[in-house]
Structure 1
Amino acid sequence: MALATLGVVVPGVAAIYEFLVKGRKRLGYRVQMDTTANDVGDIAAPGALGELSNNGVPLVDPSIVLLRIENTGRTNIDEHDYAVRDDDKAGIRVSFPGRRVVGLVVTELSDENLRSSLAGLIVRDDLVELPKVPMNRNDHYKVLAALDSSDGATKADGPYPDPIVVGTIKGGVGDGRIIETRSRTGTSKRAMALIAFLAVLVVAQSVVFFRSDNGTPLDCAAGRLTLTGSTAFEPVAREAARSYQDVCTEATFSFEMRGSGEGLLALTRAGEHADMLAFSDGDKPDGMPGLVARPLAFVLFTLVVNAETGVRDLTTEQIRRLYGGTITNWKEIGGRDVPVRLISRNPGSGTRAAFQRRVLGGVREPGSNSDNCRDRDPGSPTGLVRCARNSTDDVLRAVADTPGALGYSELGAATNRENLALVRIDGRPATVPDADHGTYPFWETELGYTHGDPDAHSLTASFLRYLTTQVGADIIRAHGDRPCAELANPQLCHPAPIS
């Protein structure tokens, strides 16, 4: 018991520190170069280095600084996260004590989508003003500054003071101020100590386990369970099943993930004694009185566009006009001259139902008129190209491959995909706090359905408990969703009413 307690407490404290303290929104910078440009020896090839000047006037004490600005937290940073007035275009300000700025250029972008946000670099009274740049996790950009002595004299008493970088993020670590980060290779001492502790703990638990009379872990169940339903929740279900089997070796799982509607129909047809669990994005339809729901997770969805559209933010009204067919080209709403193509999930999809209910205001999407998502099928009426796909992955691949395409997906599946861009709705990104407080509309409760109440000792009941406690909850969080119990407003996660 003591070993098990230590095994939970120590990693728990480490996780709290890592995710709640270190892992929130955090903006960092690195001074990757700060060097004099004076010649201290012979110039090997006289040219630009011998002619450093500002408007034809030679620089007295030239120096060069390369500054890297980076998102070092675990969540995205939006332009609204910068703690400045709305009318202030600068999010970060940089000064160089003892030096004046004679040249400034952006030299590197981790993502080409950052380019448009960095179009307006400003130098005011030798103060560099960097824009409020939205950055996803691990995004960065670099700024190269050419400097000269501010008083026109060569500095003879050592190096210049370090650059001063000022910026603050709302809801960030500590007071949210930008912090200097450093490159690190290898594993930190703290991580090595934790690994060593856990290794000793694993050995000790193994000894206790093999000496005990009962070798079966707590709450394990044997048998075979079929998982069906939501393709948006499929990555969570598969990883949780693998993790459960690692501990409970007498359990096996099969998968029939064809969408929420198909999964609920399969469970209804299988009957009361079927070893089947169906996942659904939202409530079941009427006419399935034997199905019982249990809330599992709060799932975020997002609109996605082909990266070439040039659009990253849509209002609710624009989305409804797009799906209503009155906007046919992205240039009509500030994008590029590319025809709009809509790629949806097939009818019966829980993701499609959530989109219609929460974003389109209850209006159903029109039917498909294209098989290839690029051209209308022969004989179909004029209008937007509309196609539908069976799964979340199929939609994302089609949007990435189709010029002008717009679709929707579970957030975790869409994140960090090539040739795709996530779309903010009414200026708000897909985040749990925004959805939790009603400022982001596209979300749904993920429900686990059984036919009647399963036996408490069955694999179905055991796996449902596993999904809502400890490791299962960690897996849900790792895929960008949130266990229902962790919401500020847990009532958002509700079981479906019994018909």
Structure 2
Amino acid sequence: MSGIPWELVLAIIGVLVPIAAFLWEFAVVGRKRLGYRVQMDTTPTDVSPAHAGAWRRLERESGERLVDPSFALLRIENVASAPITESDYSAPANTEVGLWARFPGRRVTGVVVTELSDPALGRYFADDAPGLGMRDTQEGAVTVGIVELPKVKLNPGAHYKVLVVLERAGDNDLQFPEPEVVGTVSGGGDGKILKTKGQTGTPRWVVALVCFLLMIGLAEPFLFEVTGDDPAPLDCASGELTVVGSTAFRSVLREAGESYRDSCPEAEIELRLDNSHQGLRALDESGERGVLAFSDGPKGDRMPALVPRPVALLLFTVVIHPDTGVHDLTSAELREVFAGEISNWRELGGNDLPVRIVDREAASGTRATFEERVLGGVKEPGENTEDCVSAPRGEVARCRRDGTDELLGAVAQTPGAIGYAELKAAQGRGEVQLVRVDGQAASAKAAEAGAYPFWQTEYAYTRGVPAADSLPMSFLRFLTNQRGADIIRSHGNTPCQDLRNPVTCRPEPAP
């Protein structure tokens, strides 16, 4: 299906359908067509005898008064695109009659032509002209008045009107069947004369055609979506890309990589996310242009060959084991806890449980952010181990984990444990409790107002400036377009373009 040029197919349909509809309506079916209208058919049954006037004196030539007289005004017209000649009428060649107007339940007592669109038509209705006449016929028990109309030559749009005087026949009800005009002409469809109406708006076939073309336009994107084997590659690049660095940004990069590959199947993206520092070092030492490194925070003065680009504002949170009974800690209390000055949670109003600290390795960007923004630049003291429970006499137990998920797992499994992690990842772990800092829960609004301190700018780094059509640059553009920005938002982070100052990508309170 992908080899079919659907854009061209739909464009051709959009052109051919109106042309075919026009030709069908005016050149095939409607090339020659007669129509008639019943513009008046009335019986003055409510006229008071005292005011009937001349109406009361309507009578036959014999002087006998008409029985329940009525009037009917018929309009006969050429509603097609070609002239109708005398030879087009399908009536027998030996008669001048071309059409018949029928009035069931009534007799015809008089006929007069009241209007001609062209005075030249008058020759068909002169006193000595054959074809115009009237008679009555019996069809079973019903009397039918007949008006015979001549084979009139009518150019497109031409018409004439016939006024018919009638009376009730027999004991029929005054609610007579509607008059009809019968006859056929050759050269258009079935040739039958059509009952028409005054056209005051857009013809129905034109409305139907417009609706069809509108449906084509609305269906076009859907057809491209369901019939194409591959999505349309917008700003796609091919090749291989290795993404290294921050584990805090792992969930965003995993989903973004899958979404990019869905749109650009010739791209291969591999994630090797250990921590921010190792990712930067791997990029710096690789010397390759097919590597992207993501870091929680700027690299500083080191590795001058690496070029930064801010991508998003990340929120982090302090997490704690639920059994501690602690929900809110000030920045000063957190400094005391991570400095090892508080050994039991009851010292802070919590439960009688020993404090056990789970932190990240020294090269972690999340740890660097925690030390900078929450601990006020104070480094976490001492070396830590893999053991989160045991501690030397008089010291607080301290253990290290290499990634965000590993840290959250250790806090969840260790009574009295406290640590820190990327917000969205922590929210997905119901076994840990999120701690308010200085009374503020982690939120973009609180960070923007300057009330919540635990945040960091996520940077993407390249070695030098890759070519604009390279896979690293294409993937970076994807992260900043609508789809990439939506993925960033869905993981609880804020794209730089959503902030007050997208260039610095930092929270800035409103002036």
TM-score category, normalised to shorter length? 0.5 to 0.7
Give the aligned partner of residue 461 of structure 1.
473
8 Å CA contact 1:236, 1:476 repeated in 2: yes
TM-score (norm 1): 0.56
Structure 2 spans left out of the alignment, 5+ residues:
1-6, 8-217, 507-511
Identify which of 272, 277, 288 aligns with 1:256: 272
Aligned to 2:155: none
Structure 2: which amino acid aligns with 1:383?
E
Residue type of the alignment partner of 1:349: S
Report the counterpart of residue 241 of structure 2 in structure 1.
225
Give percent identity, aligned residues only.
51
Counting only pairs closer than 5 Å after superposition, residues 224-243 of structure 1 correspond to structure 2 as 224-243=240-259
Q: In 2, are the aligned partners of 1:304 and 1:421 still within 8 Å (CA)?
A: yes
The CA distance in 2 between the partners of 1:299 and 1:278, in whole Å, is 16
**CA drift at 1:354:** 0.3
* Deviation digits for residues 465-491 of structure 1 (CA, Å, limit 9, x no counterpart): 000111110000000001011123546
Alignment of structure 1 residues 58-77 onto 2, 5 Å: none
> What does residue 451 of structure 1 align with?
463
Whether the 8 Å contact between 2:297 and 2:459 is mirrored in structure 1 is yes
Question: What aligned pairs does 1:83-102 form with structure 2 within 5 A after superposition?
Answer: none
Q: How many residues align?
A: 293
Structure number, greater radius of gyration? 2
**Aligned AA (1:344):** D
How far off its partner does 1:492 sit? Answer: 4.9
Q: CA deviation at 1:206?
A: 3.4
Matching residue of 2:222: 203
Residue 489 of structure 2: aligned partner: 477
CA shift for structure 1 position 328:
1.0
Q: Secondary structure in 2 aligned to 1:417?
A: coil
Q: Which residue number in structure 1 is paired with residue 355 of structure 2?
A: 340
State the distance in 1 between where 2:376 and 2:220 align.
53
SS at match of 1:308: helix
Q: 1:207 deviation in Å?
A: 7.3
> 1:434-479 CA distances to partner (integer Å, 9 max, x unpaired)?
1011100000000000000111000000000000111110000000
Runs of 4+ more than 6 Å apart: none
360, 373, 378: which one aligns with 1:363: 378
Q: Does 1:430 align with 2:468?
A: no
Letter in 1 for 2:478: Y
CA deviations over 1:230-272 (Å, ceiling 9, x no partner) = 000011001100000001000011111000000000000011x
Asked if residue 329 in structure 1 is aligned to residue 361 in structure 2, the reply is no
> What's 2:365 paired with?
350
Deviations 1:145-173 (A, max 9, x none): xxxxxxxxxxxxxxxxxxxxxxxxxxxxx
2:273 and 2:312 mapped to 1: Cα distance?
17
User: Residue 425 and residue 489 in structure 1: after superposition, are their counterparts in 2 closer, same or farther (change >3 A)?
Assistant: farther
SS at match of 2:405: helix
Find the residue that maps to 1:284 and give its secondary structure.
coil
Structural RMSD (CA): 2.4
**Amino acid in structure 2 at the alignment position of 1:256:** R
What SS is found at the alignment partner of 1:407?
strand
Residue 313 of structure 1 aligns to which amino acid in structure 2?
A: D
How far 1:287 moved relative to its partner? 2.2
TM-score, normalised with respect to structure 2? 0.55
Match of residue 292 from structure 2 = 277
Partner of 2:89: none
Asked if 2 retains the 8 angstrom alpha-carbon contact of 1:356 and 1:363, the reply is yes
* 2:317 corresponds to 1:305: no
Corresponding letter in the other structure for 2:322? A
CA distance in 1, matches of 2:352, 2:403: 29
Query: Distance in 1 between the 2:406 and 2:470 partners?
Result: 34
| Structure 1: gaps of 5 or more residues | 4-198, 495-499
CA distance in 1, matches of 2:220, 2:321: 48
Contact 2:231-2:263 at 8 Å conserved across structures: no
| Structure 2 contact 386–401 (Cα < 8 Å) conserved | no
Aligned residues of 2:255 and 2:487 also touching (Cα < 8 A)? yes
**Counterparts of 2:338 and 2:415 in 1: how far apart (Å)?**
17
Separation in 2 of the partners of 1:434 and 1:367? 32
Q: Cα 1:249–1:400, aligned 2, differ >3 Å: closer, same or farther?
A: same
Q: Secondary structure at the match of 2:492?
A: coil
- Cα separation, 1, equivalents of 2:471 and 2:271: 15
Structure 1: distance between partners of 2:443 and 2:501: 14
